[in-house]
Structure 1
């Protein structure tokens, strides 16, 4: 770590601290994640090992770049990434007017979807897409997907995965309903929720519990049934007595959005049905 000049802390988590630092040899600003190892038998959480291995294999302009991994003699782990100014959540709060510009939203979404497409082409599901995990520069000209701790590599045919992934407001219905088999469609759903939040400045689906969140989903997108989603009523967390909602017209929620934008939202927020036929 001698070649780095440690700077201010820019992030705190359950397993790590992130600092904005300077590489003294290259004069490059970097982000260094210092891992807490006191509760890990092997010195580092398995999610971090998985994140490191995946990022080593990826090289894309819209994916955060892994620069180095350092383990010192005290068994302390440091992961070095390229640095960006802030995340999308903070950008929307700090630069309210700029972040509401339609052209800027379009550019940000294009970059997010480009990164998601790259992941899926390389058989990786991110599984935790949300504004907090989208790093961005102050001009919104660079957007990079970060935090691959929940990500998984997948293969065909699909196998069962844990349903306990994703922040609830960006979680696809098949996850909320406890489906053991899901696909890349969960990332597309999350991207659609990010798009909606940039447009609305609030979450399109924002329930305080799983059931409330499902009701909000279905009150807008329509309640799935055995005709539209075979097997849905047999999923573990399908709530009894769920009202039969008809799909709403998204144009009524986003009156200023051009037809192509409404179409993108519609495709993103209906993509959970793709998992059944994947």
Structure 2
């Protein structure tokens, strides 16, 4: 258990509270920042015991690329989750570098994302809400997955605990079209969208409604057929939209800064057929990451990729002097 002392800041959501405070460990005198997320347990949000069981799963995740859940404090009306504190997230990072990232940094962040996700997927835990705001980054450049959806729930939520509407931008087409039978491939589509966003500085499919989201996807990747998506012609929702028959466009024309291997990996993440969509584990071994060296694949789960001397972030082309820049980065 952690004993708390000085408040640092407080940020309120609609139905949840995010707080940041200095925590003093009961085992020692060292001071550390932690982030507190309070989940208010309303009657319509289901039995508190279900939420506690699902959140408790996250306490068992010990990985360098997953935010550490230190503790869970349960009262009748709320759950308070005590997380490690990180300075920034990928959305802020992109904003701060003028949406122009070094392609070296794109690769290192992408590897860290896949590394954390692979660890979860091996334990049959889905994230279910991947987006840049849920990828936290500390002052060393370590990227960590945060804000998991309830791990074993049988649906993808339309709202978070804080009653905030979940964005559609990173949601795969099978979920947009109403599937309830899904597994790890639902996260992999979001990984592809995030790779595109890091490489271009703009979201890949910024739709505001389900129909608009699907339309943006089909216009770029082609309207699905039985060949590209077996069984799609039997989907009533898909047929009801009556989308035009778009042909797939060349991705390289939309992500010119991504190299051939990067385009190949992006393509494999954005396949309609979930059985063919690349897994996190397979993606880690993709030739796109060859330049990071072989040692990166033998790191212990709790070791940072930056424990390898050859892994270093570079100065982003859009970097401004006032923005976050990890120590030791190239100038």
Q: How far is 1:264 from its partner?
A: 1.4
Residues 112-157 of structure 1: per-residue CA shift (max 9 Å, x gap):
0111111111111111001111111134x2111011134337xxxx
CA 1:218/1:57 → structure 2, altered by over 3 Å: closer, same or farther? same
Q: Which TM-score applies when normalising by structure 2?
A: 0.72
Q: 1-side partners of 2:206 and 2:249: how far apart? A: 17
2:208 match: secondary structure: coil
Does residue 66 (structure 1) correspond to residue 69 (structure 2)? The answer is: yes
Corresponding pairs, count: 265
Question: How many Å separate the matches in 2 of 1:40 and 1:262?
Answer: 46
Q: Tell me the distance in 2 between the aligned counterparts of 1:193 and 1:268.
A: 9
Q: What is the alpha-carbon distance in structure 1 between the residues aligned to residue 214 and residue 46 of structure 2?
A: 38
Match in the other structure for 2:91: 89
The alignment's C-alpha RMSD in Å is 2.7
How much does 1:83 deviate? Answer: 0.7
Structure 1's 45 and 148: CA in aligned 2 closer, same or farther, altered over 3 A?
farther
State the SS of the aligned residue for 2:119: helix
Q: Is the 8 A contact 1:8 1:20 kept in 2?
A: yes
Partner of 1:28: 32
- Equivalent residues in 2 for 1:1-278 (5 A)? 3-9=4-10, 11-25=11-25, 26-37=30-41, 39-40=42-43, 48-71=51-74, 77-96=79-98, 100-139=101-140, 141-152=141-152, 161-162=154-155, 164=157, 167-238=167-238, 239-270=240-271, 272-275=272-275
Q: Given that residues 4 and 21 in structure 2 are in contact (C-alpha distance below 8 angstroms), is that contact kept between their aligned partners in structure 1?
A: no
CA drift of 1:50 comes to: 4.6
CA distance in 2, matches of 1:22, 1:188: 35
Q: Which runs of 5+ in 1 are unaligned?
A: 154-160
- How far off is 1:56 after superposition? 1.7
CA deviations over 1:44-94 (Å, ceiling 9, x no partner) = 85674254222122111111111112246x865422111100221122112
- The answer (yes or no) to whether the contact 1:163–1:179 under 8 Å persists in 2 is no
The 1:206–1:41 alpha-carbon spacing in structure 2 relative to 1, beyond 3 Å, is closer
| Distance (whole Å) between structure 2 residues aligned to residue 42 and residue 190 of structure 1 | 25
Per the alignment, in what secondary structure is the counterpart of residue 8 of structure 2?
Answer: coil
- SS of the residue 2:249 aligns to: coil
- CA gap of 1:51–1:81, structure 2 versus 1, over 3 A, is farther
Quote the offset at 1:162 in angstroms: 2.4
Indicate conservation of the 8 Å contact 2:55/2:150, yes or no.
no
5+ long unaligned stretches in structure 2: 159-165, 280-331
The 2-side partners of 1:70 and 1:20 are apart by: 15
Q: In 2, are the aligned partners of 1:133 and 1:145 still within 8 Å (CA)?
A: yes
